[in-house]
């Protein structure tokens, strides 16, 4: 069925969703099409204010929990029933797009707004959440809000600092949260029925399949490492080449070795990225003494990811010895991959067929709050087509029509999960 036919039979309000998407993109707008909305920043706080307003208009009561999650609640017929949760995040990459995360939050609000307008009271309560710090770049560790409510935070997390030396504890406090009371904001497995997230695909498969929406089968788990390489500083003009302990030369060889290790299994789904590199006290006529770089390594297959990690650790050690350097590797984040619950995939599938879609199934290479929620409850994810698969880039784009189709699928799936 052509997309235009599908958009004609929508229960959700496409114009309202498009309007909200456009309005929210003004909060932290970067150039013509980008967004810079750091987690726990004044601009995210302002954006939360607007989102809270829309949650209220949709018939929800709104709260900010102590992890910095904004949550809107629509009561069900049974107020004590476990909650059906849906949502995503509105924090962005430093130079991000206006769809990543935002589409999940605003289409969830749109779905609840539609229910309220139709006088539908679901059996179970529904909570729409905008999670705190999904992206993770400000404090070097992401998925904070979802890890918080599911009891997956680690010791010392609140002491992590951003580039300006502000701790997460301080940032939470300035945002209006009470970090000393975070246990009060946790959910127990009994209190959550299921979690559903809509997100742009951030990849090219839906565009290739000529489909506006897809069904996610599983999410690759990321491990984030920081590698510190230590050499010895010296004069660039006087130290003979054979006598150098150049940390940058060692780090460069490590980065290339890592790339080769990850590429080794061309059939595999492993991906590896070095996205940050820092040379301490850099000067063009000083031999670099200290270099730090980050590793982002992911796979849906944990064994394969673990094998890659082992290989990179051995290889970095060998390279360090070759150049008389020391290497130290610390783990910042380690989230296991997880498959989406088959029964929720089935619901999404049957609802997409009822809509006349032929939604393909696909794995998510990007991580999402849904990955963390899977530690507490069953979960499902809907993907929406985005142009050329571009994401984490101001050029990110998804059409109003595709977003509306995705939101409709979310609405229908939510009704099935919450019961009406």
Annotated binding-site positions: 89, 100, 135, 199, 392
Q: Is 101 in the site for Mn ion (CB under 5 A)?
A: yes
Residue 214 in the binding site for Mn ion (CB under 5 A) = no
**Residue 104 CA, distance from chain mean position:** 11
Q: How far is the CB of 403 from Mn ion (least distance, A)?
A: 14
d(CA 211, CA 353): 12
Site for Mn ion in 331-370 (CB under 5 A): 366
Using DSSP's 3-state secondary structure scheme, residue 358 falls into coil
Which of 196, 254, 359, 366 contacts ligand GLV by CB under 6 A? 366
Nearest residue (CB) to ligand GLV, 110 versus 135 = 135
Nearest to ligand GLV of 367, 411 (CB atom): 367
b/e per residue, 165-180, with b = 16+ CB within 10 A? eebbbbbbeebebebe
Stretch that binds Mn ion, among 96-104, 145-153, 319-327, 400-408 (CB under 5 A): 96-104
Binding mask 307-346 for ligand GLV (x = CB under 6 A): ----------------------------------------
Counting contacts by CB under 5 A, is residue 91 touching Mn ion?
no
- Residues touching ligand GLV, count (CB under 6 A): 3
The residue among 30 and 291 lying less far from Mn ion, judged by its C-beta, is: 30
Q: Is 383 in the site for ligand GLV (CB under 6 A)?
A: no
Pairing mode, if any, of strands 221-230 and 326-334? Answer: antiparallel
DSSP 8-class letter at 94: T
Q: Which residues contact 19 (CB under 8 A, 6 or more apart)?
A: none
User: Between 185 and 391, whose beta carbon lies closer to Mn ion?
Assistant: 391
Smallest distance, ligand GLV to C-beta of residue 275, A: 9
Residue 222 binding Mn ion, by CB under 5 A: no
Binding-site member from 67, 99, 195, 367 for ligand GLV (CB under 6 A): 367
In whole angstroms, the minimum distance from the beta carbon of 136 to ligand GLV comes to: 7
Pick the closer one to ligand GLV by CB: 355 or 366. Answer: 366
Nearby residues of 2 by Cβ (< 8 Å), 6 or more positions away: none
For residue 389, give Cα distances in angstroms to 177, 225, 328, 375: 36, 26, 35, 28
- Going by C-alpha positions, the residue among 376, 302, 377, 367 that lies closest to residue 343 is 377
Distance of closest approach, residue 341 Cβ to ligand GLV, in angstroms:
20
Q: Are 168 and 153 in contact (CB under 8 A)?
A: no
Which of 364, 402, 372 minimizes the C-alpha distance to 107? 402
Q: How far is the CB of 337 from Mn ion (least distance, A)?
A: 14
Site string for Mn ion, 289-328 (x = CB under 5 A): ----------------------------------------
Burial tier of 152 (Cβ tally within 10 Å: 0-12, 13-18, 19+):
middle
Told to check if 135 binds ligand GLV by CB under 6 A, we report yes
Nearer to ligand GLV, 135 or 197 (CB): 135
Provide CB contacts within 8 A for 385, sequence distance 6+: 200, 201, 206, 207, 211, 212, 213, 214, 398, 399, 402
Binding site for ligand GLV (CB under 6 A): 135, 366-367
């Amino acid at each position: 069925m052509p997309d235009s036919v599908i958009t004609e039979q929508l229960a959700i309000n496409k114009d309202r969703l498009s309007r909200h998407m456009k309005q929210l993109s003004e909060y932290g707008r970067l150039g013509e099409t980008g967004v810079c909305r750091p987690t726990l920043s004044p601009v995210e706080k302002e954006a939360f204010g607007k989102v809270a307003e829309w949650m209220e208009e949709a018939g929800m009561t709104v709260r900010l929990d102590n992890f910095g999650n904004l949550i809107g609640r629509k009561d069900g017929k049974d107020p004590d029933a476990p909650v059906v949760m849906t949502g995503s995040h509105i924090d962005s990459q430093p130079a991000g797009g206006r769809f990543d995360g935002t589409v999940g939050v605003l289409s969830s609000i749109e779905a609840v707004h539609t229910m309220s307008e139709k006088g539908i009271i679901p059996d179970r309560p529904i909570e729409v959440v905008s999670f705190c710090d999904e992206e993770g770049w400000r404090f070097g560790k992401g998925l904070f809000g979802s890890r918080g409510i599911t009891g997956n935070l680690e010791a010392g997390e609140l002491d992590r600092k951003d580039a300006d030396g502000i701790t997460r504890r301080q940032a939470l406090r300035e945002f209006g949260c009470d970090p000393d009371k975070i246990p009060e904001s946790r959910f127990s497995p009994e209190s959550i029925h299921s979690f559903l997230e809509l997100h742009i695909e951030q990849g090219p498969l839906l565009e290739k399949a000529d489909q506006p929406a897809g069904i996610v089968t599983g999410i690759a788990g990321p491990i984030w490492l920081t590698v510190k390489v230590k050499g010895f500083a010296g004069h660039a003009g006087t130290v003979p080449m054979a006598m150098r302990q150049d940390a940058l030369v060692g780090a460069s060889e490590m980065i290339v070795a890592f790339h080769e290790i990850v590429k080794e299994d061309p059939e595999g789904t492993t991906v590896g990225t070095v996205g940050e590199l820092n040379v301490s006290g850099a000067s063009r006529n000083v031999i670099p003494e200290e270099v730090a770089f980050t590793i982002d390594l992911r796979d849906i297959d944990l064994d394969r990811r673990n094998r890659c990690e082992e290989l990179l650790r051995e290889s970095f050690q060998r390279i360090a010895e070759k150049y008389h350097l020391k290497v130290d590797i610390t783990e910042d984040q380690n989230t296991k991959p997880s498959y989406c619950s088959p029964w929720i995939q089935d619901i999404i599938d049957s609802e997409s067929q009822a809509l006349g879609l032929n939604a393909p199934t696909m794995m998510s290479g990007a991580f999402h709050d849904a990955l963390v929620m899977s530690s507490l409850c069953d979960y499902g994810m809907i993907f929406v087509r985005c142009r050329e698969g571009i994401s984490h880039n101001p050029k990110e784009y998804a059409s109003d029509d595709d977003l509306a189709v995705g939101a409709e699928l979310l609405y229908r799936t939510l009704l099935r999960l919450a019961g009406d």
